Amino acid sequence: MRRALIVEDDPDIVELVTHYLARDGFQVEAVGDGRAALAQLRRAEPDLLILDLQLPGLDGLAICREIRSQPRTRDLPVIMLTARGDEADRIVGLELGADDYVVKPFSPKELMARVRAVLRRAEQPAEAAPVARIGELAVDRERHTARWQGQLVHLTAKEFALLLALVDARGRVLSRQQLLENVWGYSYAEGTRTVDVHVRRLREKLPGIARSILTVKGLGYRLVQEQEA
Which three-class secondary structure state does DSSP give residue 121? helix
pTM tops 0.75, yes or no: no
Q: 190 vs 122, which has greater pLDDT?
A: 122
Please write the tens of the pLDDT for every residue from 135-189. Answer: 899 999 888 899 999 999 999 888 999 999 999 887 888 888 888 887 877 655 5
Burial of 146 (0-12, 13-18, 19+ CB in 10 A): buried
The length of the chain, given as a count of residues: 229
Q: What is the mean pLDDT of residues 106-130?
A: 78
- Amino acid occupying residue 120: R
Judge if 3-122 and 131-228 fold alike in CATH terms: no
Contact 59, 92 (CB under 8 A): no
CATH class of 131-228: mainly alpha
Q: Where are the domains of the chain?
A: 3-122, 131-228
Long-range contacts of residues 156-160, Cβ cutoff 8 Å, at least 24 apart: 158/183, 158/184, 158/198, 159/198, 159/201, 159/202, 159/205
User: Percent of the chain at pLDDT above 90?
Assistant: 44
Question: Per the CATH hierarchy, to which homologous superfamily does domain 3-122 belong?
Answer: Response regulator (3.40.50.2300)
The more confidently predicted of residues 79 and 86 is: 79
